[in-house]
């Protein structure tokens, strides 16, 4: 089942003009086998021309169209057949067509996750599996989180715990759900006074924790060379304030996202010189949000898998 191995976690969730999720989080059922590597390069282009100020969707001519491009390198490694290590590191560039504010660019956060399969067994006409992921992300450059919406990310550590449940029919069709809790720390900003439903005298801002949901329906086609999938992603901050009228967002904001998307991945299984390679394409659009730009994202990627 070599083809099973390369499929990696490629929901590129670089949502958020704040890069809320920082980078994609492993939320699928796939695992590398022991001593197997997968490396990937992913490009994601997101943009919005409207954003939710609190829950009000609005435009702002001093931003115009906002765009965020991310180039993410990723490596996954099979520690055992049941436990994988995954690391991602994105380079991000943001800019706006309106107004006079400078965009930002640079390396964002290093994310490391460990994914393990808790069980996987045949039940009826398919297999049911449950996996869990524990992740940690931390900024690796001195980007400013308090420069919204241009900030590369939230500028804080993030710990995550995720449960993934999937049922895969023997014919290749699958349904999958995942739920995670994201614990965010505080972010250091370049001022020691700010407003968050009241005055704060601190260089630190609390970044709200969040719940993160994924749901997917998909299928494997052409002898498991092609995977296509429709998916949903939800994010709910568990606290935080709203962007005030015509004011800038800040890392303390309560962010909500509902996003739908498609995802396709193809493995070059039979074309000799390309064996080990795969390509990925994704599309997503936010359909509901709060304190967030209404992103539409296109993603492309290339993966390569090998064993040592």
Q: Please name which of 258, 260, 279, 259 lies closest in space to residue 269, comparing C-alpha atoms.
A: 279
Q: Is 2 in the site for other proteins (CB under 8 A)?
A: no
Least spacing, CB of residue 113 vs other proteins, in Å:
10
DSSP string of 22-71, one letter each residue: -S----SS--PPTTEEEEEEEEEEEEES-EEETTEEE--TTT-SEEEEEE
Among positions 23, 70, 189, 280, the unique one binding other proteins when judged by CB under 8 A:
189
Least spacing, CB of residue 125 vs other proteins, in Å:
28
Q: Is 200 in the site for other proteins (CB under 8 A)?
A: yes
Our CB check for other proteins shows the closer of 118 and 271 to be 118
* Cα–Cα distance for residue pair 291/296, rounded to 1 Å: 16
Q: Please name which of 192, 187, 266 lies closest in space to residue 22, comparing C-alpha atoms.
A: 187
Q: Name 113's bridge partners.
A: 86, 135
Our CB check for other proteins shows the closer of 136 and 300 to be 136
The residues in 217-276 that bind other proteins, with binding defined as CB under 8 A, are: 244-248
* Cα–Cα distance for residue pair 280/50, rounded to 1 Å: 28
Omega into 299 within 30° of 0, i.e. cis?
no
Map residues 150-179 to x or -, x wherever contact with other proteins holds by CB under 8 A. -------x-x-x------------------
Q: Is 101 in the site for other proteins (CB under 8 A)?
A: yes
Q: Which spans of this chain sit near other proteins (rule: CB under 8 A)?
A: 61-62, 64, 80, 82-83, 98-103, 114, 116-118, 132, 134, 136, 142, 144, 146-147, 157, 159, 161, 183, 185-186, 189-195, 198-202, 204-206, 244-248
């Amino acid at each position: 089942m070599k083809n099973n191995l390369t499929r990696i976690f490629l929901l590129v969730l670089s949502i958020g003009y704040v890069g809320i999720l920082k980078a994609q989080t492993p939320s699928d059922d796939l695992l590398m086998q022991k001593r197997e590597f997968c490396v990937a390069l992913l490009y994601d282009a997101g943009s919005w021309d409207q954003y939710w100020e609190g829950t009000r969707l609005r435009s702002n001519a001093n931003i115009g169209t906002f765009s965020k491009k991310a180039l993410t390198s990723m490596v996954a490694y099979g520690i055992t057949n049941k436990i994988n290590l995954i690391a991602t590191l994105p380079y991000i560039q943001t800019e706006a067509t309106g107004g006079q504010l400078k965009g930002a660019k640079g390396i964002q956060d290093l994310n490391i996750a460990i994914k393990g399969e808790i069980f996987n067994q045949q039940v009826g006409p398919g297999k049911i599996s449950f996996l869990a992921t524990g992740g940690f992300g931390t900024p690796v450059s001195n980007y400013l989180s308090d420069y919204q919406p241009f900030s590369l990310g939230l500028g804080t550590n993030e710990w995550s715990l995720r449960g993934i449940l999937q049922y895969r029919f023997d014919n290749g069709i699958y349904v999958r759900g995942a739920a995670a809790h994201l614990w965010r720390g505080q972010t250091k900003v370049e001022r020691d006074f700010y407003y968050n439903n009241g005055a704060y005298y601190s260089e630190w801002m609390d970044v709200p924790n969040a719940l993160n949901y994924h749901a997917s329906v998909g299928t494997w086609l052409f002898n498991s060379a092609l995977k296509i999938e429709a998916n949903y992603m939800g994010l709910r901050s568990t606290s935080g304030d709203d962007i005030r009228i015509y004011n800038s967002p800040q890392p303390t904001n309560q962010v909500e996202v509902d996003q739908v998307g498609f995802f396709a991945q193809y493995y070059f299984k039979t074309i000799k010189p390309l064996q080990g390679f795969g390509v990925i394409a994704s599309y997503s659009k936010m359909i509901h949000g709060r304190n967030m730009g209404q992103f539409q994202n296109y993603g492309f990627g290339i993966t390569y898998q090998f064993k040592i």
